[in-house]
Structure 1
Amino acid sequence: MAYLRLLVATALFFCVTATGVFPVRAAQDPFPLYDCITPNVAFWRDIYGKYPSSQGVLHDKRDLRIIYEVLDIEGIWENGARERDRQRIERAKARYLEIFKSLAAGAPPQTREEKRVAALFGARATPEDFRLAQENIRFQSGQKDNFRKGLIRSGAYLEEIKEIMASYGVPEDLAYLPHVESSFNYKAYSKFGAAGIWQFTESSGKQFKLDVDYAIDERRDPLKATHAAARMLRHNYEKLGTWPLAVTAYNHGINGMMRAKAAKGDYERIFQEHESELFKFASRNFYSEFLAAREVAKNYPAFFGPLPIEPPVNSKGVVLPNYALVDDLVKHLKVDLETFKALNPALREPVYKGQKLIPKGYEVRVPQQGKIVRLADNIPPQILKEDQAQTTMYQVRQGDTAFSIARQHGVTVTDLLRGNGLDDQAVLCPGQNLRIPGPDERGRVRLVATERKKGEIQHLIGLTPKTAVQPGAEFGPVAKAEGVPVAALGAPPLKAASEPEGVAAQTPAKGAQCPPLNPAKVLGNLGVEVVKKQGKTHGIIRVEAEETLGHYARWLGVRAWDLRRLNNLRYEQSLTANQKIKIPLAKGSKARFEAQRYEFHKEIVEDFFAAYRLLEGTRTYRVTQGDTIWSLCENEFELPFWLIKKYNESVNFAQLKPGMRLVVPRVEPIR
Structure 2
Amino acid sequence: MANCKLRFRAAGTCWLLAAALCLLLAGGCATRQGKGPEVSTPSFVLPDDESASPLTRTELAALKSTGQIDKNVPDEAMPDVARQYKYFLRKGRNTMSVFSKRSEQYLAYARKVFRSRGMPDELAYLAIVESGYKADAKSPAGAAGAWQFMPYTGMKYGLNQDWWMDERLDPYKATEAAADYLQKLYGDFGDWPTAIAAYNAGEGKMSRAKQGTGGRDFFEVKARNHKLDDKAQLREETKQYVPRFLAVAKIMRNLPQLGFEPIQPDKAPGVLRFTARPGTDLMAFSSACRLSWEEFRAYNQHHKRPITSTERTTFVYVPARYEREATAFLRSPQANAYADWRPAKVATSADSWDKISRRSNVPVARLKAANPGNDRLSAGEMVLVPRSVNMSATAVAALDPKESRTARETRQGKKERLKPGDSRAPARETAVAAGGSHKLQPDETLYAVARKYNVSLKDLQDCNQIDNPNKVRAGCILRIPGAAVAAAPSAGGSSGRVGKAGRKATYTVQAKDSLWNIARKHNVSVDDLKRWNNVDEKSLRAGATLVVNLD
TM-score using structure 1 length: 0.45
Describe the shift of the 1:288–1:17 C-alpha distance in structure 2 as closer, same or farther (beyond 3 A): farther
* Higher relative contact order (Cα pairs below 8 Å, separated by 6+ residues): 2
Q: After superposing the two structures, state which structure 1 stretch, 292-301 or 235-244, moved more.
A: 292-301
Residue 270 in 1 paired to residue 221 in 2?
yes
Letter aligned with residue 261 of structure 2: P
Q: CA deviation at 1:404?
A: 6.7
Describe the shift of the 1:396–1:37 C-alpha distance in structure 2 as closer, same or farther (beyond 3 A): farther
Describe the shift of the 1:489–1:270 C-alpha distance in structure 2 as closer, same or farther (beyond 3 A): farther
Q: Give the match for residue 47 of structure 1.
A: 87
Q: Give the match for residue 320 of structure 2.
A: 368
**Distance (Å, rounded) in 2 between the aligned partners of 1:483 and 1:334:** 17
Q: CA deviation at 1:349?
A: 3.8
Residue 319 in 1 paired to residue 268 in 2?
no
Describe the shift of the 1:414–1:363 C-alpha distance in structure 2 as closer, same or farther (beyond 3 A): closer
**Distance (Å, rounded) in 2 between the aligned partners of 1:383 and 1:478:** 12
Letter aligned with residue 228 of structure 1: A
Q: CA deviation at 1:246?
A: 0.2
Assess if the C-alpha contact under 8 Å between 2:353 and 2:364 holds in 1: yes
Q: Give the match for residue 345 of structure 1.
A: 300
Assess if the C-alpha contact under 8 Å between 1:406 and 1:412 holds in 2: yes
Describe the shift of the 1:481–1:190 C-alpha distance in structure 2 as closer, same or farther (beyond 3 A): farther
**Distance (Å, rounded) in 1 between the aligned partners of 2:189 and 2:242:** 14
Residue 476 in 1 paired to residue 432 in 2?
no
Letter aligned with residue 368 of structure 1: A
**Distance (Å, rounded) in 2 between the aligned partners of 1:434 and 1:486:** 38
The one of 113, 120, 135 aligned to 1:171? 120
Q: Give the match for residue 151 of structure 1.
A: 100
Assess if the C-alpha contact under 8 Å between 1:182 and 1:199 holds in 2: yes
- For structure 2, the residue ranges without an aligned partner over 5 or more in a row are 1-45, 47-53, 389-408, 415-453, 455-485, 506-551
Assess if the C-alpha contact under 8 Å between 1:165 and 1:172 holds in 2: yes
Describe the shift of the 1:410–1:376 C-alpha distance in structure 2 as closer, same or farther (beyond 3 A): closer
Letter aligned with residue 365 of structure 1: Y
**Distance (Å, rounded) in 2 between the aligned partners of 1:329 and 1:224:** 21
Describe the shift of the 1:237–1:303 C-alpha distance in structure 2 as closer, same or farther (beyond 3 A): same
Assess if the C-alpha contact under 8 Å between 1:322 and 1:359 holds in 2: yes
Q: CA deviation at 1:250?
A: 0.6
Q: Give the match for residue 207 of structure 2.
A: 258
Letter aligned with residue 477 of structure 1: P
Task: Look up the SS of the partner of 1:238 in the other structure.
Answer: helix
Letter aligned with residue 323 of structure 2: I
Describe the shift of the 1:317–1:18 C-alpha distance in structure 2 as closer, same or farther (beyond 3 A): farther
1:186-222 Cα distance to aligned partner (Å, 9 max, x none): 2312233322211112221121122333333322222
Task: Look up the SS of the partner of 2:488 in the other structure.
Answer: helix
Q: Give the match for residue 153 of structure 2.
A: 204
Residue 21 in 1 paired to residue 34 in 2?
no
**Distance (Å, rounded) in 2 between the aligned partners of 1:417 and 1:317:** 28
**Distance (Å, rounded) in 2 between the aligned partners of 1:30 and 1:16:** 19
Q: Give the match for residue 249 of structure 2.
A: 294
Q: CA deviation at 1:471?
A: 2.0
- For structure 1, the residue ranges without an aligned partner over 5 or more in a row are 1-6, 8-14, 52-142, 441-466, 493-671
Letter aligned with residue 43 of structure 1: R
Assess if the C-alpha contact under 8 Å between 1:16 and 1:42 holds in 2: no
**Distance (Å, rounded) in 2 between the aligned partners of 1:43 and 1:298:** 18
Q: Give the match for residue 89 of structure 1.
A: none
Assess if the C-alpha contact under 8 Å between 2:343 and 2:382 holds in 1: no
Assess if the C-alpha contact under 8 Å between 2:357 and 2:363 holds in 1: yes
**Distance (Å, rounded) in 2 between the aligned partners of 1:193 and 1:250:** 15
Q: Give the match for residue 175 of structure 2.
A: 226
Describe the shift of the 1:396–1:482 C-alpha distance in structure 2 as closer, same or farther (beyond 3 A): farther
The one of 435, 443, 456 aligned to 2:383? 435
Q: Give the match for residue 515 of structure 2.
A: none
The alignment of Structure 1 onto Structure 2 pairs a total of residues equal to 352
Describe the shift of the 1:290–1:375 C-alpha distance in structure 2 as closer, same or farther (beyond 3 A): closer
Q: CA deviation at 1:293?
A: 1.1
Task: Look up the SS of the partner of 1:21 in the other structure.
Answer: helix
Map 1:67-86 → 2, pairs under 5 A: none
Q: Give the match for residue 110 of structure 2.
A: 161
Describe the shift of the 1:277–1:18 C-alpha distance in structure 2 as closer, same or farther (beyond 3 A): farther
Assess if the C-alpha contact under 8 Å between 1:367 and 1:373 holds in 2: no
**Distance (Å, rounded) in 2 between the aligned partners of 1:471 and 1:400:** 20
Assess if the C-alpha contact under 8 Å between 2:81 and 2:247 holds in 1: yes
The one of 240, 263, 271 aligned to 1:285? 240
Q: CA deviation at 1:25?
A: 9.5
Task: Look up the SS of the partner of 2:95 in the other structure.
Answer: helix
Q: CA deviation at 1:388?
A: 6.6
**Distance (Å, rounded) in 2 between the aligned partners of 1:303 and 1:170:** 27
TM-score using structure 2 length: 0.54
Describe the shift of the 1:321–1:190 C-alpha distance in structure 2 as closer, same or farther (beyond 3 A): same
Q: CA deviation at 1:171?
A: 0.7
**Distance (Å, rounded) in 2 between the aligned partners of 1:32 and 1:172:** 17
The one of 490, 497, 501 aligned to 2:503? 490
1:218-238 Cα distance to aligned partner (Å, 9 max, x none): 222222111111111110000
1:106-154 Cα distance to aligned partner (Å, 9 max, x none): xxxxxxxxxxxxxxxxxxxxxxxxxxxxxxxxxxxxx432221111111
Letter aligned with residue 239 of structure 2: R
Map 1:392-407 → 2, pairs under 5 A: 392-394=344-346, 396-397=348-349
Residue 241 in 1 paired to residue 190 in 2?
yes
Q: Give the match for residue 59 of structure 1.
A: none
1:273-330 Cα distance to aligned partner (Å, 9 max, x none): 2344362111121111101111222223354443576742313333345542224434
Q: What is the RMSD computed on CA atoms of the aligned residues?
A: 4.2
Assess if the C-alpha contact under 8 Å between 1:412 and 1:470 holds in 2: no
**Distance (Å, rounded) in 2 between the aligned partners of 1:357 and 1:42:** 48
Paired-residue identity, %: 24
Q: CA deviation at 1:432?
A: 6.2
Q: Give the match for residue 35 of structure 1.
A: 75
Letter aligned with residue 286 of structure 1: Y
**Distance (Å, rounded) in 2 between the aligned partners of 1:373 and 1:171:** 35
Map 1:105-124 → 2, pairs under 5 A: none
**Distance (Å, rounded) in 1 between the aligned partners of 2:181 and 2:202:** 10
Letter aligned with residue 181 of structure 1: E
Letter aligned with residue 231 of structure 2: E
Assess if the C-alpha contact under 8 Å between 1:333 and 1:376 holds in 2: no
Q: CA deviation at 1:393?
A: 1.6
